[in-house]
């Protein structure tokens, strides 16, 4: 287990190092100072490590996938900067968001610029069909925007089905995880079957990761999480938990959850009250189960690949994400 973690951290160091050099200009200062701030914000760097591992699992050299992995990570960070404006979020990974630390205009512009830098970095990729890779990356941009758009639309709906929720979240967060693996697979010279297996693995991991995110918002330790507990509840966000709870609840519980979804609930004591409802309805247990199922499905998808270090690392990664606390 330890060797896997060491190797993961090794890959992450490569990614962080490249992320710190990817911006090669200083001016305009109001552009590149916040842009550097965003890219130095840390994070698990799951997407770029996944690109490297998918490349390796397909039989390629993981170092060939660094530029593409970094590109997906920059793209991911661009979406966070713009989402934070739209969500009026004050902090991200325990630090002030760009629109709070600077202003909204700067945050809009820095996000746009990061998308440009992401493409520039992607285009450094030397292995694989550059048109195919750039197309998949571009579909990622489009899907992630659609996902955010649905997410904002859902905020104004009284109820959302689990199916709608899963569609939205597969676009908003799952897609980038899936393309991380798919692009890595192409760079590594994957066969069609290998590529499909790696995409399937990533889709399952992405879904588990997202349900886990919704779950941790309720049950995590505040300091470990790096943001206040229950933020999703206070915002009336249609999470996997809320969507499922709404389908199960009756009477007073249902009335409370509807007020949460309609953002008309009194905030005082709300997080604790909703958490109790979640427990009573069994949605926390269901979430645990759903996460475990998707993690198992991710592991199963890997069987289509040859046994090598890349594949073993992917197996370990899915397990590690299942056990994460933030």
Q: Which helix (H) or strand (E) holds 96?
A: strand 95-96
Indicate the Cα dihedral angle 20, 126, 120, 34, nearest 10°: -10
Q: How far is the CB of 53 from its own copies (least distance, A)?
A: 25
- Give yes or no for residue 134 binding its own copies (CB under 8 A): yes
State in angstroms the smallest separation of the CB of 1 from its own copies. 39
Q: Where are the beta strands (DSSP E) in 183-297?
A: none
* Nearest alpha-carbon partner for 58 in 227, 182, 159: 182
Q: Does 115 participate in binding its own copies (rule CB under 8 A)?
A: yes
- Rounded to a whole number of angstroms, the minimum distance from the CB of residue 128 to its own copies is 12
Q: Is 111 in the site for its own copies (CB under 8 A)?
A: yes
Region of 49-57, 59-67, 134-142, 256-264 interacting with its own copies (CB under 8 A) = 134-142
String of contacts with its own copies for each residue 63-102, x by CB under 8 A: -------------------x--xx----------------
CB of 234 to its own copies, least distance (A): 19
Q: What is the distance of C-alpha 244 from the center of its chain?
A: 21
For 275-303, b where at least 16 C-beta lie within 10 A, e where not — what string?
bebbeebebbebbeebbeebbebbbebbe
Give the span between the Cα atoms of 140 and 171, in whole angstroms: 8
| Residues of this chain that bind its own copies (CB under 8 A) | 28-31, 82, 85-86, 105-106, 108-109, 111-113, 115-117, 119-120, 123, 130-131, 134-135, 138-139, 141-142, 145-146, 148-150, 152-153
């Amino acid at each position: 287990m330890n060797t896997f973690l060491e190797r993961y951290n090794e890959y992450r160091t490569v990614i962080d190092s490249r992320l710190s050099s990817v911006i090669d200009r200083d001016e305009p200062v109001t552009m590149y100072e916040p842009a550097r701030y965003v890219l130095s914000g840390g994070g698990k760097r799951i997407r770029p490590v996944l690109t490297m591992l998918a490349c390796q699992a397909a039989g390629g050299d993981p170092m060939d996938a660094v530029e593409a992995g970094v590109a997906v990570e920059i793209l991911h960070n661009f979406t966070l900067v713009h989402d934070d404006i739209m969500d009026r979020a004050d902090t991200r990974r325990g630090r002030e968001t760009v629109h709070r630390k600077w202003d909204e205009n700067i945050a809009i512009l820095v996000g746009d610029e990061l998308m440009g830098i992401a493409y520039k970095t992607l285009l450094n990729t030397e292995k694989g069909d550059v048109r195919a890779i750039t197309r998949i990356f571009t579909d990622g941009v489009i899907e992630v925007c659609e996902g955010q758009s649905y997410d904002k639309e859902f905020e104004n709906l009284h109820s959302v089905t689990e199916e709608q929720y899963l569609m939205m979240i597969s676009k908003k967060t799952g897609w980038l995880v899936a393309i991380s693996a798919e692009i890595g697979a192409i760079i590594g010279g994957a066969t069609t079957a290998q590529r499909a297996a790696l995409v399937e693995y990533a889709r399952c991991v992405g879904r588990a990761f997202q349900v886990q995110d919704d779950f941790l918002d309720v049950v995590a330790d505040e300091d470990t999480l790096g943001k206040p507990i229950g933020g999703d509840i206070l915002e009336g966000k249609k999470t996997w938990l809320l969507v499922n709870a709404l389908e199960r609840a009756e009477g007073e519980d249902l009335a409370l959850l509807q007020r949460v979804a309609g953002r008309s609930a009194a905030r005082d004591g709300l997080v604790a009250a909703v958490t109790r409802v979640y427990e009573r309805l069994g949605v926390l247990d269901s979430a645990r189960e759903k996460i475990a199922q998707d993690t198992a499905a991710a592991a199963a998808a890997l069987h289509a690949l040859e046994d090598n270090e890349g594949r073993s690392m992917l197996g370990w990664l899915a397990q590690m994400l299942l056990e994460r606390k933030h």
